Amino acid sequence: MTVPTRPLGRSGMDITVVGAGSWAIGGSGWKYGWGPQDDASSVRALRHALDLGVNWIDTAAVYGRGHAEEIVGTAIKPIPDGDRPYIFTKCGLRWSDADPFGDPMRDLRPDCVRMECEASLRRLGVERIDLYQFHWPDSTGTPVEESWGAMCDLVDAGKVRAGAVSNFDVALLERCESIRHVDSLQPGFSMINRPAAADVIPWCDEHQTGVICYSPLQAGLLTDTFSAERVALMDASDWRRWHPDLATDFNEPKLSRNLDLRDALHGIAARHAVTTGAVALAWLLAWPGVTGAIVGSRSPDQVDGWVGAGAVELSDDDLDKIAAAIERTGAGTGPVRPPAMVSG
């Protein structure tokens, strides 16, 4: 399979429009886990995505408190250096081993950024991180200019190829950009969670900053297999059960609206001979400025449901029908239709 690629801003990397995510494979035992996960299945899922043509993996130090990075390292270890995928990871969420179910601190102090980089390199088993991202804005009072300066030092030292941020607003992006170009932004963005399309994604498009979106399937809600019954069976440790920013999407009245929107995609999916999840990804990829989408998989068969999304070109009629379905169901907030389709 050939998965289409797009340039990741001015980073010099051409990445496939879908990438393999690793949040869920961090497993349980920490506050934002998705429930128990089999490590062998995680490795198989990552390798299956790579075998099908995906050329990047996104992870973070905090996922499983380092465990997801270790799993990614295991998955890529047998691959010759010249054939390895791009590895993207994040820093800035510092956890306490004494309180694994506590909230990680948003810590972007320069010393912590440098320390986390070394730890991630070690867990991943690589000499350079291809895209290093600040996971969330700092909460310690550290000026973002000092944090971004530490990122720039890591790039200059050859430990990081490209510097990036996640969950930053336009004001923070502007402050970083004034020091050194921001190679990529990682915002939450999906057919249900759409505010990023109104501000940060257009900013990135204007500034030649790549955009890789997380939770493009809204934590599973936009996939064929999700249902109210599945919500009821989610593990008690699954963060989707309790987190205030997401749990409402998995409970009434929002759950029915979200699943109604997913069901409205069935006809479009049938015409394109793909899953509803692939349609949801193709919709996201139609927004100007979006480079790619991060899609998590806990098993190889889940990869098969989304890897072909890059080949789906939604028509104007498709986009109009999706916009109408969003407005009819009242699912989510934010702009409902891309201003123009993007091919490639």
Query: pTM for this structure?
Result: 0.93
DSSP 8-state symbol, 162: E
- Beta pairing partners, 93: 106
If we measure between CA atoms, which residue out of 219, 251, 211, 277 comes closest to residue 23? 219
| pLDDT at residue 247, as a whole number | 67
Q: Which amino acid is at 332?
A: G
pLDDT higher than 80, residue 342: no
Q: What is the pLDDT of residues 183-232, one digit of tens each?
A: 999 999 999 999 999 999 999 999 999 999 999 999 889 998 887 888 77
φ, ψ (nearest 5 deg) of residue 68: -60, -40
Q: What is the pLDDT of residues 49-103, one digit of tens each?
A: 999 999 999 999 999 999 999 999 999 999 998 899 999 999 999 988 888 888 8
Q: Which amino acid is at 85?
A: P
Distances (CA, A) of 139 to 105, 109, 221, 230: 7, 10, 31, 36
pLDDT higher than 80, residue 244: no
| pLDDT at residue 343, as a whole number | 41
CB 60 within 8 A of CB 87: no
Q: What is the pLDDT of residues 289-326, one digit of tens each?
A: 999 999 998 889 999 989 999 999 999 999 999 999 99
DSSP 8-state symbol, 249: G
pLDDT higher than 80, residue 341: no
CATH number of 14-219+289-309: 3.20.20.100
Stretch 147-172: mean pLDDT: 98
Query: Average pLDDT over the chain, rounded to whole?
Result: 93
If we measure between CA atoms, which residue out of 34, 15, 9, 3 comes closest to residue 296? 34
Q: Is 80 exposed, middle or buried (0-12, 13-18, 19+ CB in 10 A)?
A: exposed
pLDDT higher than 70, residue 32: yes
Cβ neighbours around 308 below 10 Å, total = 20
Percentages of the chain per state (helix, strand, coil), in multiples of 5: 40, 15, 45
Stretch 166-189: mean pLDDT: 98
Distances (CA, A) of 12 to 90, 174, 301, 306, 336: 19, 21, 32, 25, 31
pLDDT higher than 80, residue 237: no
Domain boundaries along the sequence of the chain: 14-219+289-309
pLDDT higher than 60, residue 344: no
